[in-house]
Amino acid sequence: MSQPLMEIRNATKIYGGGFLQSGDQVIALQDFSLTIDEKPAMITTIAGESGSGKTTLANLILGFISLTSGQILYKGQDIAILKGAQRFEYRREVQAVFQDPYEVYNPFYRIKHIFDLVIKNFKLARNKRKAREVIEEALKVVGMRGEEVLEKYPHQLSGGQRQRMMVARAFMLQPRLIVADEPVSMVDASLRAMILDIMLRMRDEHNISFLYITHDLSTAYQIGDQIYILYQGIVAEKGDTAAVIENPKHPYVQLLISSIPVPDPSQRWDTNISLPPEEELRGQVKSGCRFYPRCPYRMDRCLIERPPLCNIAGGAHAVACYLYE
Amino acid sequence: MATATAEQTVARKAPRINLWDYPWLNPKLLMGGTLVILILVMGLIGPLFWDVTQARVATSPLNLPPFWMKESDLHPPGDPAHPLGTDNSGRDMLALIITGGPSSLRVGFIAAGVGMTVGIILGFTSGFLGGWVDNVIRTIGDAWVTVPSLAVLIVLAAYMRPTVTTMAFLLAAFSWAGPTRLIRAQALSMREQGYVRMARLAGSSTISIMFREMMPNLLPYLAASLAGNISGAILAATGLEALGLGPTRVPTLGMTIYYSIRASAILRGMWWWWGFPIVVLVVIFTGFFLVAIGLDEIANPRLRGLQAT
Amino acid sequence: MTVVRNDDWDVVLNVKNLRVHYATPLGDVIACNGVNFDVYRGETLGLVGESGCGKTTAAMGILRLVPPPGRIVHGQVLLDGTDVMSLDEGELRQVRWRQIALIPQGAMNSLNPVMRIKNQIADGIETHEGRQPRAALRERIVELLNTVGLPSRVYSMYPHELSGGMKQRVCIAMAIALHPSLVIADEPTSALDVVVQRVVAQTLLDVKERLNVSMILIGHDMGLQAQLVDRIAVMYAGNIVEIAPVKEIFGESLHPYTQLLIESIPSIKERKPLKVTAGLTHDLRNPPPGCIFHPRCLYAMDRCRTDVPPLRELAPKHRVACHLY
C-alpha cells in the first residue's frame, strides 16, 4: 500500500478581507481535498466555470501562490516546506501546460530556448548532441520533428503546434504529474483531438498522471477517469467520470449538463423551463450551500450549514447535497 | 458561385527588405542616430583638422563675424581663418563647438548612464521581489522624486563650481528615481507574463529570469528611456551653465551662451556667438528625440502606423 | 425597392462574390475569397468555421467596416435589393444599425464603463433618430430591456455592476433598438459560462421570434449552432464550402471539411475514441491551387489540385463546393 502521489487536505485559499485591505473577502477555494495515486496513472478532471476556483487550485499546486490553510502533500511531504534539492525534485516531477499557447513563449528567443532552459536547469544532458537527442525524443511523442520547428520563432508556428511543443517540454522532464490548465480551449476544434490524444498516450505508455482543468465537460467526459466538479470554491460532485456525467445528482451539475448544447438539431433545449437567476457578482462570504440562491430544491437547512460530501452507490460517486444524505 | 482563383495573383510581392523582419531599420531611429553620431564624429576628428586651442581666450581676433559677413556698423568683416566668427574674448567659435558639443554629450551619457544603471538594478529588484524590499525602495524613490532638483543643483553648483564630470555625477544623483519607477512598473507587469511563469516552472533562478527572460524584451524600452534621460541631462547641464554655474576652464556650449548673454551679444548683433551653440544643441536634442521615438516604435509595433496588423 | 425571390422566400440579404484582402508586407492575405450566400427573411443563418477562416471578416465586409490594412476588393451586398457597396457614407450610416445591426465579438467588454446603461442605449437611438422626448425614450428603453429578459433596475446601472451574461444581453438590446431587419451576432456567447450561455442563447431565439428579425450567427461552437440556427454556411480559409439546412449538416453533410468538423465535436452523450486529424492550414497568403481544402482532404483526387470546385446546388437548398459530386 504505497502512499499516494499527491494528497490535498482541506485546502483553503481566501483573498482579501485583511486588516489594511478594502473590499470583501473572496473565498476562492474552501476545504478542498483530493487524492491522486501513484499507480495506475490517471487523468483527474477538475471541472468548473469561471470563479469556481480551478485556476486557483492549479496555481496552488504549482507553487505560485500559497494556501491560507490546509496542506498539499507530495509523496507525503508538505510542499510549502520543501527547500533546495527537494523543491527542485518537486519542480521536476510536477509540470504544467497552460491555456494560452501564445504568451508562454518569450518572443525574443527561438523555440528551442524553452527546451534549452529545461535541459540546462535540470542537467538532462552533458553535451549538445545528447541534448538534441533528448529533445527529439520528446518531440516524437507529440508527432513533430526537431528540424521543422526548433529554429523558428514562436510567431511563425500555429497555436496547435505551439501547444504540442509545450507538452513535449513538459514530457522531457519525465514528470509524474502534469497540470494541464485548459490546454485545448484556445486551439482549433479540429486539432483538439490530437492534443487530447497525446495526453492519453502519455498516460498509457509513460505512466504520467494528469490534472486536467477545464470548463468543457464534453472533453472531460471523453478523456477523464475521475472528475471533481467545483462550484464557487467547493466540490459539488465528484467521482468516476462516466458515473457523474451520465447520472448527475447535484442540482448544479444537473443544470450544467443539461445546458451543454448538444450538436443535434433534434435534441434542442427545453426552452419552457425557467432557468435560475444569474449569479450575483461574487464578494460576500456566505454561509450554507453556495448554490442556495439558484437551487430549485433548496430547503431551509441548506442556508444554515454547508452540506458535506456524501457517498452514493458504493463510493465511486459523492455529492455535496442534503438531498442525498 | 465560387469562381476561378485568378484573384490569387493579386497578392503582391513584397520588397526585399521590409520593416517586419528588420525592425531596427526604423527611419526615425536611423535619422536620430545619424545626428547624434555626427556630433560625436565632429568631436573626434574635428581636432585633427582644426586648431582647437583657439577655443581658449585671447587666441583670436575679437568680435569677428562668420566669414561670409561683410563689414557693417557693428562689426568688422568676416575672416575665413575663423569661419564661424569669434567672441569678445577672442575664442574661435568653430573650436568652441567642436569641443563643446561632445562635452555636452559626455555629461548626458554619464548622468543618464549612471542614473539608468541604478534605476535598472533598483527597479527590477523592487518590482520582481516585492514585499518589504519593494516598499523600501519605492518609498525612497518616490520621496526623492519630489525634491526640487533644479533648486538643489543650483545651490550645489554655485558652491562647488564643478568640472564636467562632477556635474555629470551630480545630475546622476537626481536622475535615478524616474527610471527606477518606470522599470519597477515594467517588472511588475512582466512578472505575470506567461513565459516568466514557464521559466519559473523550468527551475530558473530569479536572477536568471530577470536578465535572460525579461531584459531582452525590455531593451528597446530601456534604450528609449535612456535616450530621453540623456536629453534631459544635457538640458539640465546646459541650463545650469547658462546661469553661469558651469566649469570656467573648459569650453562648453552652455557657458558660451552664458558669456554671450553677459556681454549683451543680442544687443550688439553678434548672433553667431549664441546662434551656433544653439544650433548644435538643437541637433543633439532632435537626434535623441528621434532615437527615442524610433525605439518606441520598435518596442511597440502598434505605433508603426496603419501598416501594422 | 425590388425584392429578390427564391423559392417563395424573401431574401433579406444577398452576398455575391465578396472578396476581402488584408495587406501585409509579404503579400495580401486573402481573408474572403469570393463568398456567396443568401439570408432569407425570418431565418437564422449560422456561419461557422475555425479561427482565421474569414467569418468575422465577411460580417465586417457586409457592413463595410473592414479595418485597414484590410480592404474590400470586390463584391456586391444586396440588402432588401439595395447594393450596400454602392452607397455613399451618409446613406451607409442610415443602413447601419437601422437595417443591419452588429453585435461584435467581445461586445460585452466594450460597453463604456463610465456611462449608465440607459445613456448608452439612448445614445444609439438618438444618434439615428434625433432627440427623443424623455418619457417616451425611457419607456422604450425599459421595454427593450424587458424584451431581452433584464429587470428594469438595469436601466440606471453601470456596466461593472452587471454580470457577463447581463452585459451581453444589453448589447443585444442595443442591436435591436431600431428594429433592424438583420442582426449579425459574432460569437455572442464565447466568453460566457455554460449556463449563462444558454440564457443568452435563448434570449436571442426569443428576440428573433418576437421581432421577426433575420439573423446571422457567427461561431465555432457546433453544438450551439445546432440549437439555434435554421441553416448553416461552413467556411474554410475564406471560402464557403457548404450551405445546407441544419438537420442535413449534422445528419448527412457532404463536404469532407464539414464532416471533419462534425466528427471533432466531443460528445457529452457517449464515450468514443477520439478522431485525430493531421494537417495544418496553409499560409493564407499563398492559397493552394485548385480546391482550397485539398491538402487536408482524405478524398483528394487529381482534379482537386487543379480545378476550383464551384458551389453547386445538389439537393434543395443544399449547396456544396466539392469535386466528389
Residue A47: inside a domain, yes or no? Answer: yes
User: In this predicted complex, what is the ipTM?
Assistant: 0.82
Structure confidence at residue A273 (pLDDT): 61
Do residues C188 and C256 both lie within one domain? yes
Residue C325: inside a domain, yes or no? Answer: no
Average pLDDT rounded to a whole number, residues A290-312: 85
Q: Which three cell numbers stand for residue A314?
A: 458504493
To 10 degrees, the CA torsion angle through B89, B93, B96, B102? 160
Whether the bond between B23 and the residue before it is cis, its omega within 30 degrees of 0, is no
Residue A24: inside a domain, yes or no? Answer: yes
Q: How far apart are CA C17 and CA A162, in angstroms?
A: 35
Between B136 and B53, the more confident residue is B136
Question: Domains in chain A: how many in total?
Answer: 1
Distance from CA of A11 to the nearest CA of C (A): 25
Do residues C154 and C16 both lie within one domain? no
Structure confidence at residue C184 (pLDDT): 94
* CATH classification of the domain holding C36: 3.40.50.300
Structure confidence at residue B244 (pLDDT): 84
Strand partners, C19: C33, C74
Least confident piece of the model among A39-43, A303-307, C57-61: A303-307
Between B53 and C278, the more confident residue is B53
Q: How far apart are CA A44 and CA B3, in angstroms?
A: 50
Residue A1: inside a domain, yes or no? Answer: no
| Contact between A280 and C271 using a beta-carbon 8 Å cutoff | no
Residue B208: inside a domain, yes or no? Answer: yes
Structure confidence at residue A278 (pLDDT): 59
Between B244 and A24, the more confident residue is B244
Structure confidence at residue B8 (pLDDT): 36
CB nearest to A218's CB, from C195, C196, C267: C267
Least confident piece of the model among A145-154, B50-59, C293-302: B50-59
Q: What percent of chain A has pLDDT over 90?
A: 41
Residue C284: inside a domain, yes or no? Answer: no
Write out pLDDT tens, residues A103-136: 899 888 888 899 999 999 888 888 989 999 999 9
Give yes or no for residue A45 having a pLDDT over 80. Answer: yes
Between A32 and C296, the more confident residue is A32
3-state SS, residue A33 = strand
Q: Which three cell numbers stand for residue C164?
A: 457577463
Whether the bond between A40 and the residue before it is cis, its omega within 30 degrees of 0, is yes
Residue C148: inside a domain, yes or no? Answer: yes
Give the pLDDT band (50/70/90) at residue B308: very low
Do residues C133 and C201 both lie within one domain? no
Q: What is the CA radius of gyration of chain A?
A: 21
Question: Domains in chain B: how many in total?
Answer: 1
> Is C21 part of the contact surface with chain B (CB cutoff 8 Å)?
yes
Write out pLDDT tens, residues C239-274: 899 999 999 999 888 999 999 888 888 888 888 777
Do residues C185 and C266 both lie within one domain? yes
Between A288 and A219, the more confident residue is A219
Residues in chain A: 325
Handedness of CA C297, A183, A235, A75 (dihedral sign): positive
Do residues C58 and C92 both lie within one domain? yes
Q: What percent of chain A has pLDDT over 70?
A: 92
Distance from CA of C212 to the nearest CA of B (A): 29
Residue C320: inside a domain, yes or no? Answer: no
Give yes or no for residue A230 having a pLDDT over 90. Answer: yes
Q: What are phi and psi of C47, to 5 degrees?
A: -115, 110
**Residue C46 lies in domain:** 5-99+181-274
Least Cα distance to C279 among C309, C300, C265 occurs for C300
Spell out the residues 6+ positions from residue A246 whose beta carbon is closer than 8 angstroms to its own. none
Stretch 46-75 of chain B: residues touching chain A, C-beta under 8 Å = none
Mean pLDDT of chain B: 81
Residue B288: inside a domain, yes or no? Answer: yes
Among candidate residues C179, C210, C235, the one where a domain is terminated: C179
Residue B284: inside a domain, yes or no? Answer: yes
**Residue A70 lies in domain:** 6-324
Q: Which three cell numbers stand for residue B134?
A: 519593494
Do residues C163 and C262 both lie within one domain? no
The DSSP code sequence of C164-187 is: HHHHHHHHHHHHHTT--SEEEEES
Do residues C78 and C188 both lie within one domain? yes
Residue C293: inside a domain, yes or no? Answer: no
Give yes or no for residue B204 having a pLDDT over 90. Answer: no
Residue C67: inside a domain, yes or no? Answer: yes
Among candidate residues C251, C274, C297, the one where a domain is terminated: C274
Do residues C91 and C185 both lie within one domain? yes
CB of C40 within 8 A of CB of C214?
A: yes
Structure confidence at residue A301 (pLDDT): 85
Q: Which three cell numbers stand for residue A110?
A: 527561438
3-state SS, residue B218 = helix
Do residues C9 and C91 both lie within one domain? yes
CB nearest to B201's CB, from A96, A103, A109: A96
Average pLDDT rounded to a whole number, residues B150-176: 85
Q: How far apart are CA C13 and CA C101, in angstroms?
A: 13
- Angle value at C-alpha B47, between B43 and B49, nearest 5 degrees: 120
**Residue B146 lies in domain:** 26-303
Among candidate residues C179, C211, C240, the one where a domain is terminated: C179
| Contact between B2 and C19 using a beta-carbon 8 Å cutoff | no
Do residues C30 and C74 both lie within one domain? yes
Structure confidence at residue C301 (pLDDT): 87
- Angle value at C-alpha C260, between C254 and C261, nearest 5 degrees: 100
| Contact between C69 and B4 using a beta-carbon 8 Å cutoff | no
CB nearest to A103's CB, from B195, B199, B200: B195
Q: How many CB pairs under 8 A join A and B?
A: 45
3-state SS, residue A263 = coil
Give the pLDDT band (50/70/90) at residue B21: low
Structure confidence at residue B6 (pLDDT): 35
Q: What percent of chain B has pLDDT over 90?
A: 9
Give the pLDDT band (50/70/90) at residue A17: low
Residue C302: inside a domain, yes or no? Answer: no
pLDDT digits (tens), chain C, 325 positions: 334 444 556 888 999 999 999 888 778 888 898 899 999 988 999 999 888 788 999 999 998 988 888 889 989 999 888 888 888 888 888 888 888 999 988 888 889 999 999 999 999 898 888 888 999 999 999 999 999 988 888 899 999 888 888 899 999 999 999 999 999 999 998 878 888 888 889 889 889 888 889 999 998 888 899 999 999 999 998 889 999 999 999 988 899 999 988 888 888 888 877 777 765 566 777 788 888 888 888 888 888 888 888 888 888 889 999 988 8
Residues in chain B: 309
Do residues C225 and C78 both lie within one domain? yes
Chain A nearest-CA residue for C53: A188
- Grid cell 450561455 is found at C197
* CATH classification of the domain holding A77: 3.40.50.300
Give yes or no for residue B12 having a pLDDT over 50. Answer: no
Structure confidence at residue A283 (pLDDT): 46
Q: How far apart are CA A143 and CA A120, in angstroms?
A: 24
* CATH classification of the domain holding B147: 1.10.3720.10
**H helix count then E strand count, chain B:** 11, 0
**Residues of A with Cβ-Cβ distance to B194 under 8 angstroms:** 98, 100, 102-105
Sheet holding A6-15, edge to edge: A26-36, A6-15, A69-74, A77-78
HEC profile for B12-33?
A: CCCCCCCCCCCHHHCHHHHHHH
